[in-house]
Amino acid sequence: MSTPTKDDGLLAAHRRMMEALKRSDAAEIVALFAEDPVLMPPNDTAIYGKEELAEWYREYFDHFRITGLADMDRHVTLVENYAIERWGYQVGIQPVHGGERIVDEGRFLMVWHHDDDVWKISQAIWNSSRPIGSGTSRFMALLKERLNARARPE
């Protein structure tokens, strides 16, 4: 197998990920990952394997919808059959069960592997560049949702 070049579908795979996030399409997102992925979301434990990955994204989309997502400052470094993709993002997130819209910005680092002429994500980590407590944490939003549900009269 030859070493891939930047135009070997990596940008298309990146765009598929962005669109799947906007559609809340957990199955499409999971399909972009390798068989043994590691996902390291902010303020959460590491996620190992496609089964945990699918569960994490389904749970996320049960509570949140991405209403806007833009990438910027995208850089790719190729090393043999791997690509290290670093990019900044801005995102708007709407809690499904009510609550204020979350606006965030941050950075992603993804390791892609090129195998059988397909790019797959093997590892991904991201973080927010906003201060903790500024409304960017999905766990803060979930906690508020649960507290509000308990406070509502039945």
pLDDT at 76: 94
Please check whether residue 125 is in contact with residue 107, taking contact to mean a CB–CB distance below 8 angstroms.
no
Instruction: Return the sign of the alpha-carbon dihedral for residues 124, 128, 132, 135.
Output: negative
- Per-residue pLDDT tens, the chain, 154 aa: give them: 555 565 669 999 999 999 999 999 999 999 999 999 999 998 888 999 999 999 999 999 999 999 999 998 999 999 999 999 999 999 999 989 888 888 889 999 999 999 888 999 999 999 988 766 555 555 556 666 666 666 666 6
pLDDT at 130: 75
pLDDT at 142: 63
Which helix (H) or strand (E) element contains residue 53? helix 49-63
Q: Rounded to whole angstroms, how far apart are CA atoms 95 and 89?
A: 19
Which helix (H) or strand (E) element contains residue 54? helix 49-63
Q: Rounded to whole angstroms, how far apart are CA atoms 154 and 139?
A: 24
pLDDT at 46: 95
The angle, 0 to 180 degrees and rounded to 10, between the axes of the packed helices 49-63 and 138-151 is: 50
pLDDT at 151: 66
Is domain 10-151 in CATH 2.60.40.10, yes or no? no
pLDDT at 137: 58
pLDDT at 129: 83
Distance of CA 9 to the CA centre of its chain: 19
Please check whether residue 39 is in contact with residue 27, taking contact to mean a CB–CB distance below 8 angstroms.
no
Let me know how long the chain is.
Answer: 154
Q: Rounded to whole angstroms, how far apart are CA atoms 84 and 76?
A: 6
pTM, two decimals, is 0.82
